[in-house]
């Protein structure tokens, strides 16, 4: 058994369906708007991330190039004989040590490099002096006091600091380290670049540690060449994420990075991550234990795509307003007329006159529907009134027929009584005429039937012809050419009698024994063909007779005229049937009756 799927929209009225259609048409625009905004943000973040990854890589390269420049200067200082002469030698007298100290101080001062903003990179040498051979010079404990001239300090195993330990452990490689409270102003923190100074003549002998300060300012110069969106920050950190240089005030603090950013021990690596508030771009150098970090606020990126969002939102709003205007127009153009038509269909009572018939102002389907419904209502009203009138007329006709049937029955019974009395008295001529008249009356009555068998109709026609011959003593002859197969078929009663009467009156009435009437009935395919012929000699206008038969005007004559016969046949069987007049082949007139074969119900009068 197949299950028929029901359309859920049929449970909604047209207005609700239109609203649903509007929502279906508009909602994808807003969904696409949301998708486009999110996709635009995603694409922008990806493009920004890719661009800043490359920028970060180049920036890190420039920073290390500047550090390498400092490292080359430090190499020159390390290899200078003045620096190498600071190796502890017990043979030196105190004057020689003072001269060395002064020359080294001058050497370090001459290599200081000016930076943008009035700052400079200062070089300091921390000489390893385990025997305290330079008591006149400042030592490690004295570096926290303001001293604008001293560039050389001395330390021993007891006074060396952790950052000196880091430099010594690097074995000649450069190390970036944060040093607190170190000159030329003794109250500030500085990022220093450290290198161990070994003896050129004896590689195992340590001269000390060479320090280049203000490296954070040098790196900030490289930071200034990078333009990040508003709120973006740059950080140079060590491997433990301690900030070495930055564009903020967070130098020395530990930078918190997203958990997904895990650095490996690759020689060089570029990483990126997008969090709720920031985009992180990191470039690492494992050999230098450095990380260069960019933090870019996503809010600043969203400001860059705000123009695109506004365009998308404007298009969405304009489309929605346009859709609303179009829906309102069609609502007024379609829904209001349809609602009025629905109200008319619900409230209209068949037969009740219409208050107003709308004019046909619209040519679309709605206009045709409205006009057709009102026309249909008018036609139904007309049919109801016509049916009501016909029912009244039918009842009146039935009453009239009942009244008319009383007299024929009474006359028929009376004629039967007269026939039997005349027969008993021996007046056979009168008796036969009374019998024929009685037969005419009986068949004419036909128990109220409109259709009788051809056999009954022929009996009626023969009785009429016999009565007319005896009544007027006409000398014409009549010949009957009837097939037995046509007898059961139905025919409107009193069809042949008017035709035979016309043949007598207008054809053979004055011809005496020369007059002849032929009545023939034959079967032809689906029809019955009846012909009444006479050999009258009068000229007849057959075209005028046929036009009279085709004219739909009511018959103004009296009695059973040929027009009445033709109309009764067409009312029963259709306009394709009826009478047709034409000239007889030799002379006279021939009328042909065509009716369909309709089986008899088997009812006959007794």
Q: Where does the pLDDT of residue 559 fall: very low under 50, low under 70, confident under 90, or very high at 90 and above? A: very low
- Residue predicted with more confidence, 517 or 474: 517
Q: Where does the pLDDT of residue 553 fall: very low under 50, low under 70, confident under 90, or very high at 90 and above? A: very low
Given this model, what pLDDT does residue 278 score?
85
Q: Where does the pLDDT of residue 560 fall: very low under 50, low under 70, confident under 90, or very high at 90 and above? A: very low
The least confident of 68-77, 287-296, 368-377, 409-418 is 409-418
Name the residue among 156, 163, 162 with its Cα closest to residue 206: 156
d(CA 387, CA 393): 10
pLDDT in tens, 332-342: 776 777 777 77
The gap from C-alpha 331 to its chain's centroid, in whole angstroms, comes to 18
The least confident of 35-39, 451-455, 480-484, 548-552 is 35-39
**479-596 — its CATH code?**
3.30.565.10
Average confidence (pLDDT) over 424-451: 64
- Residue predicted with more confidence, 160 or 473: 160
CA distances from residue 338 to 333, 334, 578, 582 in whole angstroms, order as listed:
9, 6, 49, 60
Q: Residues in the chain, how many?
A: 606
| pLDDT beyond 80 at 78 | yes
Average confidence (pLDDT) over 347-365: 66
β-strands 516-524, 477-482 pairing = parallel
Question: C-alpha angle with apex 465: 463 to 469, nearest 5 degrees?
Answer: 115
pLDDT in tens, 217-257: 888 888 888 888 888 899 999 888 899 889 888 888 888 88
**Distance separating the N- and C-terminal Cα atoms of the chain:** 59
The gap from C-alpha 568 to its chain's centroid, in whole angstroms, comes to 62
- In DSSP terms, which residues pair with 345 in a beta bridge? none
- Residue predicted with more confidence, 286 or 26: 286
Q: How many CB atoms lie within 10 A of CB 275?
A: 14
For the ranges 25-29, 45-49, 596-600, the one whose mean pLDDT is highest: 596-600
Q: Which CATH number fits domain 219-299: 3.30.70, 3.30.450, 1.10.1740, 1.10.10?
A: 3.30.450
Average confidence (pLDDT) over 257-262: 76
Average confidence (pLDDT) over 530-558: 79
Given this model, what pLDDT does residue 361 score?
65
Name the residue among 589, 443, 564, 594 with its Cα closest to residue 505: 589
Name the residue among 311, 313, 333 with its Cα closest to residue 321: 313
CATH topology identical between 219-299 and 479-596 = no
d(CA 544, CA 556): 16
pLDDT in tens, 90-137: 677 778 888 888 888 888 888 876 655 556 788 889 988 888 888 887
Tell me if the bond preceding 184 is cis, omega within 30° of 0: yes
Question: Strand order in 243-246's β-sheet?
Answer: 243-246, 233-238, 290-297, 278-285, 268-274
Q: Where does the pLDDT of residue 592 fall: very low under 50, low under 70, confident under 90, or very high at 90 and above? A: very high
| pLDDT beyond 90 at 594 | yes
Given this model, what pLDDT does residue 384 score?
81
Given this model, what pLDDT does residue 480 score?
94
Name the residue among 292, 189, 191 with its Cα closest to residue 233: 292
Q: Any idea what DSSP says for residue 247?
A: S
Close Cβ partners of 183 (under 8 Å, ≥ 6 residues apart): 122, 124, 143, 146, 147, 148, 150, 213
Domain assignments of the chain as residue spans, ordered by start: 80-211, 219-299, 479-596
| Strand (E) or helix (H) holding 518 | strand 516-524
- Chain-wide mean pLDDT for the chain? 78
Please name the fold of domain 80-211: Beta-Lactamase (3.30.450)
Query: Structure tokens of 375?
Result: 């026309």
């Amino acid at each position: 058994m197949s299950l028929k799927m029901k359309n859920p929209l049929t449970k909604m009225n047209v207005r609700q369906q239109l609203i649903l259609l509007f929502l279906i048409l508009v909602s994808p625009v807003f969904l696409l708007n949301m998708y486009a905004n999110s996709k635009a943000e995603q694409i922008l973040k990806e493009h920004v991330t890719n661009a800043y990854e490359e920028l970060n890589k180049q920036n890190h390269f420039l920073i290390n190039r500047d550090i390498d420049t400092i490292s080359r200067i430090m190499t020159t200082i390390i290899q200078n004989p003045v620096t190498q002469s600071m190796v502890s030698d017990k043979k030196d007298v105190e004057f020689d040590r003072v001269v060395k100290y002064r020359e080294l101080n001058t050497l370090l001062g001459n290599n200081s490099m000016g930076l943008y903003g009035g700052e400079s990179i200062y070089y300091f040498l921390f000489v390893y002096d385990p025997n305290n051979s330079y008591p006149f010079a400042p030592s490690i404990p004295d570096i926290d006091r303001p001293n604008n001239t001293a560039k050389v300090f001395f330390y021993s195993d007891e006074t060396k600091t952790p950052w000196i330990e880091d430099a010594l452990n690097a074995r000649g490689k450069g190390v970036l380290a944060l040093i607190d409270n170190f000159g030329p102003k003794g109250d500030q923190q500085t990022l220093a670049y450290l290198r161990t100074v070994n003896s050129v003549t004896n590689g195992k002998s340590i001269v000390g540690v060479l320090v280049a300060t203000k490296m954070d300012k040098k790196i900030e110069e490289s930071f200034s060449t990078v333009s990040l969106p508003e709120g973006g920050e740059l950080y140079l950190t060590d491997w433990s994420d301690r900030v070495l240089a930055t564009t903020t005030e967070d130098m020395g603090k530990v930078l918190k990075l997203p958990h997904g950013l895990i650095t490996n021990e690759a020689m060089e690596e570029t990483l990126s991550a997008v969090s709720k508030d920031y985009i992180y771009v990191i470039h690492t150098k494992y050999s230098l234990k450095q990380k260069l970090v960019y933090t870019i606020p996503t809010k600043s990126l969203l400001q860059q795509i705000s123009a695109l969002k506004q365009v998308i939102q404007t298009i969405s709003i304009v489309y929605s307003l346009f859709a609303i205007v179009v829906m309102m127009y069609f609502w007024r153009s379609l829904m209001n007329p349809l609602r009025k038509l629905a109200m008319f269909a619900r409230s209209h009572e068949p037969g009740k006159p219409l208050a107003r018939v709308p004019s046909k102002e619209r040519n679309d389907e709605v206009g045709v529907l409205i006009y057709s419904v009102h026309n249909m209502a008018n036609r139904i009203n007309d049919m109801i009134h016509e049916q009501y009138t016909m029912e009244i007329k039918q009842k009146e006709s039935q009453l009239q027929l009942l009244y008319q049937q009383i007299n024929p029955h009474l006359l028929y019974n009376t004629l039967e009584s007269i026939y039997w009395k005349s027969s008993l008295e021996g007046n056979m001529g009168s008796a036969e005429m009374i019998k024929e008249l009685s037969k005419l009356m009986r068949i004419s009555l036909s128990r109220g039937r409109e259709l009788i068998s051809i056999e009954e109709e022929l009996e009626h026609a023969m009785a009429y012809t016999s009565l007319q011959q005896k009544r007027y003593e006409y000398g014409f002859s009549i010949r009957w050419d009837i097939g037995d197969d046509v007898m059961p078929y139905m025919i409107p009663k009193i069809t042949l009698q008017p035709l035979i009467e016309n043949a007598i009156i207008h054809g053979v009435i004055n011809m005496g024994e020369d007059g002849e009437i032929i009545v023939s009935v034959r079967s032809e395919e689906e029809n019955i063909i009846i012909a009444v012929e006479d050999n009258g000699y009068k000229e007849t206008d057959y075209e005028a007779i046929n036009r009279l038969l085709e004219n739909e005007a009511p018959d103004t004559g009296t009695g059973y005229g040929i027009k009445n016969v033709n109309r009764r046949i067409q009312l029963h069987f259709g306009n394709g049937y009826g009478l047709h007049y034409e000239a007889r082949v030799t002379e006279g007139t021939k009328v042909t009756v065509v009716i369909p074969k309709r089986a008899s119900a088997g009812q006959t009068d007794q």
